[in-house]
Amino acid sequence: MMARPTPYLDELNPAQREAVENLDGPVLMLAGAGTGKTKALTARIVHLLNMNKARPNEILAVTFTNKAAKEMKTRVGNMLGHQIEGMPWLGTFHAICVKLLRRHAELVGLKSNFAILDTDDQLRLLKQLVTAAGIDDKRWPARQLASLIDGWKNRALTPEKLPAADAGAYNHRGGELYAQYQARLKQLNACDFGDLLLHMVTIFQDHPDVLAQYQRWFRYILVDEYQDTNVAQYLWLRLLAQGHKNICCVGDDDQSIYGWRGAEVGNILRFEKDFPGAHVVRLEQNYRSTGNILAAASNVIRGNENRLGKELWTEADMGEKVRLIGHWDGEEEARWVGEEVEAMQRGTRGMGRKSLDDMAILVRASHQMRAFEDRFLTIGLPYRVIGGPRFYERMEIRDAMAYFRVVVSPEDDLAFERIVNTPKRGLGNVAQQKIQTCARNNGVSLLEGARILLEEKGIGGKGAKELGVLLDDIDRWRRQSVVPTVEVALDDDAVIDDGLTVEATRVQDGQPELSHIELAQVILDESGYTAMWQNDKTPEAPGRLENLKELVKALETFDNLQGFLEHVSLVLDNASEDAEEKVTIMTLHAAKGLEFPAVFLPGWEDGLFPSQRSMDENGLKGLEEERRLAYVGITRAEEICTISFAGNRRVFGQWQSQMPSRFIDELSEENVEVLTPPGLYGHQGGGSGGFSSGLEAKAAEANVYNSPGWKRMQARSGTYGMSQPKESKAAAIDMTAVSSFTIGDRVFHQKFGYGAVTEIEGDKLTVDFEKAGEKKVVARFVTAPDD
């Protein structure tokens, strides 16, 4: 046989080639950041296809984010030289499990059109159960129960398998409420995120025939970021890999940063035991970062005791030193970063011009983003936030989606609740209560409950009439969306779609009355939802109508509504991509696996980073996970890495003075340059922030300048790198922007929704938001409510 060309192998070093060319049997690639693990994994897929070892639909490849999956797909196509017809099983654990669960939903008591709840819905449901159980939600917040349940699901524990110690959590009611919650989800024909994996593990464990089918089907399994798999994911993979035993996992124990979400770094260390004879490949050459960046990162991670320990090297130049700078407060820090970004964009920092797309600001906690967003909005710097409230979380979008959900799955009570009186149909609390009761008494969904209530004339007047109209509308929309089913004969090896429904004899074929795009428009118009915003006179209304148009437009890339709804629930970690250059703001956690020429790492202060909470809750383990996060952060940078800290920061409305992060002390001195912020002194008037008293400011000042880290930094560099407080800062309240709100006012915010003002300070409001909790917002970003 003629040897096939393998140009993609020429791009790899010998160790990578070893991992790529050993196609059969278990392979573990264990290596540090930027050593080309993901690149090698991608090349391995290409090699499998090129060598005809498997068809694209027989390869199971797991990535950590949807974005990574998309990129990998494109790269495979590019390396192969032609686009592949699709790899249906390349995706995140969740995306893959949704597909599988749709096929086998009945085995866990669901129908294949089950809905996937978001965290909002999940919490609402839990609150109902907690209240019904007579538990004081103030003392025992439902949120706490939600996180316990998530934790159990991550450990693959169904209510039946829950150990007694766990079941006793949450005031001795945890286990009981977990069971009730699962039962309720079944009634609703819904599942939450954790269920996607948990149900699949349960199905594989209880139905060996189903498992065997997939063990045969998936000839090759590949997993990126293996160090961050949790127990459920691990079990799922191990079950599937027992078939052909062709599993290749890549990871880095130093980048395990999801321990708090149940990830077990032990999974990677156990690999050789689970798969005897595994081929272990280590990579040591880093291709991403300059010498200074790599050395600084390596020195930080050396502080961890619990690690395998690997040394990385690079052929790259030493490059710029890691830049370190201290600021007076968080607002100054944001202002400075904004200026640096603009300077780099202009190329005036002597490091060459950078596109905004080349720059990222990576924060430890999402509340840090606000200062940067505000600053960038003010100076008109385009930015994208990854991992924050976005398009699909806006009120009008959630309302519209709830309409779609009811049409796709009529049992979706949470969606029905959201739309039944939006727009207003004269169905207030009393009427809704009646619907609830009727549904409960008859053991049916709210939609059916409403139907029975109408028939029994349980409500009257305008409400009854409009409810009748709504129910008729929903019936009609459903009819219009149905794809006709036809009988087809299949020969033995007929393969449909992704190859697994070989036994199907009835398939959906033909066209529904309306395409899903037409249907979406029809639903929004006929329900009166579009009109509701057209008649609305608030300044936001035009924007909301724009968003709804955008929503219908988004449907075009999907085959049907259900696929779209799935996409939205799964892809919330994806930022909307458009052509304009933008600087990225995201959390360190979300940045895993990514790389940027220039990276800003703000907020390196003890308590914020390392996070106090993580240290309090998990002691040394928590601190080590934080340190790995620091390592992940620094190693995202290719050429320029800038670390900063602020002496003072407002955290949840309280001014606090901060010590520079202990990780700053762990940066190797010879790789760091301490910067002096030029001209920051008293520049650009107008206060953001502001101390309530000069005393507090002094105390904060003393604190920072006396901190060991700070002293070391001074001694080290001989520079006085921190920006000084401005004279006016102690009383800095920008009087031009004093807000017109008073305490107790109900307000609306684009991102956080409705809330009540609890504190006013200049142009800043503290608002207790109904959904988002207490937040500080700039007054001009909130409006008087519009309902």
* Residues near ligand ATP, by CB under 6 A: 11-13, 16, 31, 33-39, 252, 255, 287-288, 593, 595
Choice between 54 and 634, CB closer to ligand ATP: 634
**Matching residue, tokens 């360190």:** 588
From the CB of 41, what's the least distance to ligand ATP, in Å? 8
From the CB of 47, what's the least distance to ligand ATP, in Å? 15
Record the tokens describing residue 715, joined without a space.
């001694």
**63 touching Mg ion, by CB under 5 A:** no
Is 15 one of the annotated binding-site residues? no
Spatial contact of 207 and 129, defined as CB atoms under 8 Å apart: no
252 binding partner (options Mg ion, ligand ATP, none; Cβ < 5 to 8 Å by kind): ligand ATP
Question: How far is 335 from 606, CA to CA, in rounded Å?
Answer: 21
Residue 85: φ, ψ to 5°: -70, 5
Sort 161 into a burial class: Cβ within 10 Å, 0-12 / 13-18 / 19+.
exposed
Question: How far is 89 from 50, CA to CA, in rounded Å?
Answer: 18
714 binding partner (options Mg ion, ligand ATP, none; Cβ < 5 to 8 Å by kind): none
**Beta strands of 376-532 (E only): which ranges?**
383-386, 485-487, 506-508
Q: With CB under 5 A, what is the number of residues at the site for Mg ion? A: 3
Record the tokens describing residue 453, joined without a space.
């209530």
3-state SS, one letter per residue, for 721-770? CECCCCHHHHHCCCHHHCCCCCCCCEEEECCCEEEEEEEEECCEEEEEEC
From the CB of 593, what's the least distance to ligand ATP, in Å? 4
From the CB of 31, what's the least distance to ligand ATP, in Å? 6
User: Taking Cα atoms as reference points, which of 775, 394, 287, 364 lies closest to residue 601?
Assistant: 364
Choice between 224 and 763, CB closer to ligand ATP: 224
**Matching residue, tokens 């409006």:** 783
What's the chain's length in residues?
787
From the CB of 6, what's the least distance to ligand ATP, in Å? 14
3-state SS, one letter per residue, for 78-139? HHHCCCCCCCCCEEEHHHHHHHHHHHHHHHHCCCCCCEECCHHHHHHHHHHHHHHCCCCCCC
342 binding partner (options Mg ion, ligand ATP, none; Cβ < 5 to 8 Å by kind): none
519: left (phi over 0), alpha (psi -120 to 50) or beta: alpha
Is 92 one of the annotated binding-site residues? no
Choice between 17 and 764, CB closer to ligand ATP: 17
Is 32 one of the annotated binding-site residues? yes
749 binding partner (options ligand ATP, Mg ion, none; Cβ < 5 to 8 Å by kind): none
From the CB of 639, what's the least distance to ligand ATP, in Å? 12
Is 619 one of the annotated binding-site residues? no
Record the tokens describing residue 672, joined without a space.
């760091």
Question: How far is 179 from 115, CA to CA, in rounded Å?
Answer: 19
287 binding partner (options Mg ion, ligand ATP, none; Cβ < 5 to 8 Å by kind): ligand ATP
Spatial contact of 252 and 282, defined as CB atoms under 8 Å apart: no
**Strand, coil or helix: what is 611?**
strand
Choice between 29 and 344, CB closer to ligand ATP: 29
Choice between 19 and 700, CB closer to ligand ATP: 19
User: Taking Cα atoms as reference points, which of 392, 430, 340 lies closest to residue 574?
Assistant: 392
Question: How far is 243 from 224, CA to CA, in rounded Å?
Answer: 20
Tell me the residue nearest to ligand ATP as measured from the CB: 36
Choice between 79 and 732, CB closer to Mg ion: 79
13 binding partner (options Mg ion, ligand ATP, none; Cβ < 5 to 8 Å by kind): ligand ATP
Is 538 one of the annotated binding-site residues? no
Spatial contact of 57 and 89, defined as CB atoms under 8 Å apart: yes
288 binding partner (options Mg ion, ligand ATP, none; Cβ < 5 to 8 Å by kind): ligand ATP
Question: How far is 747 from 307, CA to CA, in rounded Å?
Answer: 49
Is 316 one of the annotated binding-site residues? no
Is 33 one of the annotated binding-site residues? yes
Residues with a known catalytic role? 37-38, 224-225, 255, 636
Is 621 one of the annotated binding-site residues? no
Question: How far is 654 from 607, CA to CA, in rounded Å?
Answer: 14
From the CB of 37, what's the least distance to ligand ATP, in Å? 3
Q: Which stretch binds Mg ion (CB under 5 A): 32-40, 144-152, 296-304, 348-356?
A: 32-40
From the CB of 286, what's the least distance to Mg ion, in Å? 12
User: Taking Cα atoms as reference points, which of 427, 332, 223, 292 lies closest to residue 732?
Assistant: 332
363 binding partner (options ligand ATP, Mg ion, none; Cβ < 5 to 8 Å by kind): none
Measured CA angle at 170 (ends 165, 174), to 5 deg:
65
3-state SS, one letter per residue, for 621-635? HHHHHHHHHHHHHHC
Q: Cis check for the bond before 610: say yes or no (omega within 30 of 0).
A: yes
Record the tokens describing residue 65, joined without a space.
């984010």
Spatial contact of 50 and 80, defined as CB atoms under 8 Å apart: yes
Choice between 48 and 632, CB closer to Mg ion: 632
Choice between 162 and 599, CB closer to ligand ATP: 599
From the CB of 100, what's the least distance to Mg ion, in Å? 25
Query: Hey, how many other C-beta atoms are within 10 angstroms of the C-beta on 780?
Result: 10
Question: How far is 555 from 32, CA to CA, in rounded Å?
Answer: 40
66 binding partner (options ligand ATP, Mg ion, none; Cβ < 5 to 8 Å by kind): none
12 binding partner (options Mg ion, ligand ATP, none; Cβ < 5 to 8 Å by kind): ligand ATP
Query: Hey, how many other C-beta atoms are within 10 angstroms of the C-beta on 781?
Result: 16
**661 touching Mg ion, by CB under 5 A:** no
From the CB of 502, what's the least distance to ligand ATP, in Å? 36
Choice between 228 and 417, CB closer to Mg ion: 228
Choice between 71 and 761, CB closer to Mg ion: 71
Contacts (CB under 5 A) with Mg ion, residues 551-610 = 593
**38 touching Mg ion, by CB under 5 A:** yes
What residues make contact with Mg ion under the rule CB under 5 A?
Answer: 37-38, 593
Binding residues: 31-38
Binding residues for ATP: 31-38
